[in-house]
Amino acid sequence: GTAPPEPVIAEPAAGETVPVGAAVAFSGGATVPGVGALPGSALTWGVDLLHCTTLQQCHRHPDVFTAEGVAEGSFTMPDHEYPAAVELRLSATWAGETSTVVRRIDYTTAEVTLVGPSEVELALAGIVGPPPLTGTLPVGSTVTVSAPSSVPTSSGTLVLGSWSDGGAPTHEIVVGPGETTLLARYVLVP
């Protein structure tokens, strides 16, 4: 005979972005009209990872984090192929009635650009193309960059000397908080 609970997520704030590996604090509560505030034991939290083909079309990896019976806590923002987002759920149960609210949490992103000779195809996090090759990626994520060891041209063979960060032809980088540019240095062998 009571109304359904009314859960509210207090934090994180709507529209907040978070880098990979950061702790995401959450808090919230629920009330029932005529009853008042519910105890933490009536609350259940869940986090789903949304893997997206675009930022609007996603499939769900459910329950990457759950917590029951608490009004607050934290979870770690997972590393995942981008585009992706996290969905935080708060469910409140009272007198057999359950209500749920959700909040989407997007990744903090930065641009990574690969530069090299125009005759070379470079790879950044699964995207392949001629330089400059730019991708918007989650800060803190680990991604693979790749350059071919050699490329034949009409003038001779371009041979990879080094990446500007000293990495191997194919290696992983961690995306930093600002714009990053990596140069694939080639030498022309006639």
If one counts every other C-beta atom within 10 angstroms of the C-beta of residue 11, the result is 15
| Cβ-based neighbours of 11, under 8 Å, separated by 6 or more | 25, 26, 27, 28
pTM of the model: 0.88
Tens of pLDDT along the chain (190 residues)? 679 999 999 999 999 999 999 999 999 999 999 899 999 999 999 999 998 876 568 889 999 999 999 999 999 999 988 889 999 999 999 999 999 999 999 999 999 999 999 999 999 999 999 999 999 999 999 999 999 999 999 999 999 999 999 999 999 999 999 999 999 999 999 9
DSSP 8-state secondary structure symbol assigned to residue 53? S
Which residues sit opposite 123 in a β-bridge?
A: 128, 146
- CB-count exposure of residue 143 (10 Å: 0-12, 13-18, 19+): buried
Type of residue found at 31: T
Question: Would you state the structure tokens that stand for residue 182, as one six-digit string?
Answer: 């990596």
DSSP 8-state secondary structure symbol assigned to residue 128? E
CA distances from 135 to 86, 109, 165, 183 (A): 20, 10, 17, 15
